[in-house]
């Protein structure tokens, strides 16, 4: 439940709210500015709401604000079973795109089909860049959402379509920083964009309003939040170990 300061206009004490912040989230209480706080719709649980701003906000911005995804284009979503991945698959499918995603097992890829996946690639056994070229008949992916970084990002650039847009927002692959060879992008008029949701939330209302709308759409059943496991706050280390084991399908929550 929310408590508010004297200059807060959009919230009242006792409201249910979800927030983001720059100082971490492993705590029972958080203080944050009003512009990083959203009312939780009545039909949405607090746990579901907690999964929305970062995952769905990032996915939406990567696909549409910066990726400019259009119907019938091909979207490649890396780590499809992650929080951002599941959000991006649903959003891209709803927009009429052909959705391709990578995951570490065939079982996870099968589960992703109920969220809008058209074509799955098991990156543990298949070269995803070659698979994308094959699936697309040589066209490549029009928009790629890459949270892995490192050599994975380099291979993403290799399967971009003409005028394709690649969005990078993380380094989940844990690889040391490497130089990217972007020389092949110029002949095909391709774009590589780095993305950080926090910056968008600090420079204006656009991203804030997008997340507010996404919360309403999820409350209305138009999109789905997937929660894999819940851990008590005092088991944060176990929660991180589970995430890093790459077994999670959807979000992992810490419960104060």
User: Which one, of 128, 120, 127, 81, lies nearest residue 98 by Cα?
Assistant: 120
pLDDT band at 176 (very low <50, low <70, confident <90, very high): low
Could you give the number of structural domains in the chain?
2
Question: Is residue 169 domain-shared with residue 203, that is, in the same domain?
Answer: no
C-alpha–C-alpha distance, residues 110 and 23, integer Å: 36
Quickly tell me which residue has 């996404």 as its tokens.
Answer: 214
Examine the domain organization and report whether 177 and 78 are in the same domain: yes
Q: How much is the pLDDT for 177?
A: 60
Q: Are residues 73 and 168 in the same domain?
A: yes
Stretch 21-41: mean pLDDT, rounded? 88
Pick from 51-60, 66-75, 239-248: least confident: 239-248
pLDDT at 1 over 70: no
Model-level pTM?
A: 0.95
Q: Are residues 62 and 122 in the same domain?
A: yes
pLDDT band at 7 (very low <50, low <70, confident <90, very high): confident
Beta strand 141-146 pairing with 160-168: parallel
Instruction: Provide the residue range defining the domain that includes 22.
Output: 17-53+199-249
Same domain, 218 and 96: no
Same domain? 92 vs 168: yes
Q: Say whether both 30 and 127 belong to one domain.
A: no
38 and 84 in a single domain? The answer is no
In this structure, are 207 and 191 located in the same domain? no
* pLDDT above 70: percentage of residues in the chain: 98
Question: What does the alpha-carbon distance between residue 240 and residue 244 come to, in Å, rounded to a whole number?
Answer: 6
Q: Where are the beta strands (DSSP E) in the chain?
A: 17-19, 37-39, 74-77, 98-103, 119-122, 141-146, 160-168, 191-194, 227-232, 251-255
Does any domain span residue 8? no
One domain, residues 153 and 102: yes
Do 135 and 120 lie in a common domain?
Answer: yes
pLDDT of residue 236: 96
For residue 213, the tally of other CB atoms under 10 A from its CB is 12
For all residues of the chain together, what is the average pLDDT?
Answer: 94
Q: Is 10 inside a domain boundary?
A: no
254 within a domain of the structure (yes/no): no
Does some domain include residue 211?
yes
Question: Is residue 5 included in any domain, yes or no?
Answer: no
Average pLDDT over residues 75-96: 98
Read off the pLDDT band of 4 (50, 70, 90): confident
- Say what the pLDDT of residue 2 is: 72
* Nearest residue to 89 (alpha-carbon basis) of 75, 108, 103: 75
Give the tokens for residue 52. Answer: 């929305």
Same domain, 193 and 131: yes
CATH code, domain with 114:
3.40.50.720
């Amino acid at each position: 439940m929310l408590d508010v300061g004297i200059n807060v206009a959009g919230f009242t004490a006792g409201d249910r709210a979800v927030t983001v912040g720059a100082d971490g989230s492993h705590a029972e209480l958080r203080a944050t500015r009003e512009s990083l706080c959203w009312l939780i719709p009545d039909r949405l649980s607090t746990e579901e709401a907690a999964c929305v701003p970062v995952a769905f906000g990032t996915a939406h911005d990567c696909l549409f604000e910066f990726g400019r995804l259009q119907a019938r284009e091909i979207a490649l979503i890396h780590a499809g079973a992650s929080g951002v991945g599941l959000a991006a698959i649903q959003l891209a499918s709803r927009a009429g795109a052909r959705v391709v995603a990578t995951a570490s097992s065939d079982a996870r890829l099968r589960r992703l089909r109920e969220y809008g996946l058209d074509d799955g690639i098991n990156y543990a056994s298949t070269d995803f860049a070659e698979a994308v070229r094959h699936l697309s008949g040589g066209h490549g992916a029009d928009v790629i959402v890459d949270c892995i970084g490192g050599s994975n990002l380099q291979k993403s650039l290799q399967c971009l379509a003409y005028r394709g847009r690649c969005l990078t927002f993380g380094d989940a692959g844990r690889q040391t920083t490497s130089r990217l060879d972007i020389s092949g992008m110029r002949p095909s008029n391709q774009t590589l964009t780095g993305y950080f949701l926090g910056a968008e939330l600090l420079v204006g209302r656009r991203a804030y309003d997008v997340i507010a709308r996404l919360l309403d759409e999820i409350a209305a059943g138009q999109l789905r939040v997937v929660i894999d496991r819940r851990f008590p706050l005092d088991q944060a280390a176990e929660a991180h170990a589970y995430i890093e084991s790459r077994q999670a399908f959807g979000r992992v929550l810490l419960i104060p």
